[in-house]
Chain A
Amino acid sequence: MTDPLIVVRGVHFAGTLVACGTVGFIRLVAEPAKVPSDGQPLRNRLSLLTLLALAVAILSGAAWLVLLAADILGAPLLDVCLHGGAWPVLFETRFGLVWCVRFGVAVVLALFLFRPVPKAIQLVVAALLLCLPAMVGHAGATPGLSGDIHLASDMLHLLTERQ
Chain B
Amino acid sequence: MRSIIASIAFLFAAAGPVFAHAHLDRANPAVGSTVTPAPKEVVLWFTNQLEPAFSSIEVRNEKGASVQAGKAVVDRSNRTRMSVPLKSLPPGSYKVMWRVLSVDTHRTQGDFSFRVGP
A residues lining the B interface (CB < 8 Å) = 68, 71-72, 88, 92-95, 136-143, 146-147, 149-150, 152-153, 156
Chain B stretch 1-59: residues in CB contact (< 8 A) with chain A: 8, 11-12, 14-16, 18-20, 22, 48-49, 51-54
With A72-B54, A94-B51, A143-B80 as contacts: A138 and B104 at CB distance below 8 Å: yes
User: Does B14 lie within 8 Å of A149, measured CB to CB?
Assistant: yes
How far apart sit A72 and B56, CA to CA, in the bound complex (Å)? 13
User: Does A141 lie within 8 Å of B104, measured CB to CB?
Assistant: yes
With A146-B16, A150-B15, A156-B11 as contacts: A137 and B51 at CB distance below 8 Å: no
How far apart sit A138 and B102, CA to CA, in the bound complex (Å)? 9
User: Does B53 lie within 8 Å of A142, measured CB to CB?
Assistant: no
B residues lining the A interface (CB < 8 Å) = 8, 11-12, 14-16, 18-20, 22, 48-49, 51-54, 78-80, 101-107
With A88-B53, A93-B101, A156-B11 as contacts: A139 and B80 at CB distance below 8 Å: no
Known: A93-B101, A153-B11. 13 other contacts (CB 8 A): A71-B107, A88-B53, A92-B54, A93-B103, A138-B20, A139-B18, A140-B103, A141-B49, A141-B103, A141-B104, A141-B106, A143-B78, A146-B16
B52 — which chain A residues lie within 8 A by C-beta?
A: 92
Contact of B15 among A93, A95, A149 (CB under 8 A): A149
What distance in Å separates the Cβ of A8 from its nearest Cβ neighbour in chain B? 13
Chain A minimum-CB-distance residue to B22: A141
How far apart sit A141 and B48, CA to CA, in the bound complex (Å)? 5
How far apart sit A136 and B104, CA to CA, in the bound complex (Å)? 5
With A143-B79, A143-B80 as contacts: A136 and B18 at CB distance below 8 Å: no
What distance in Å separates the Cβ of B15 from its nearest Cβ neighbour in chain A? 5
A156 — which chain B residues lie within 8 A by C-beta?
A: 8, 11
How far apart sit A162 and B107, CA to CA, in the bound complex (Å)? 31
User: Does B22 lie within 8 Å of A93, measured CB to CB?
Assistant: no
Chain A minimum-CB-distance residue to B103: A141
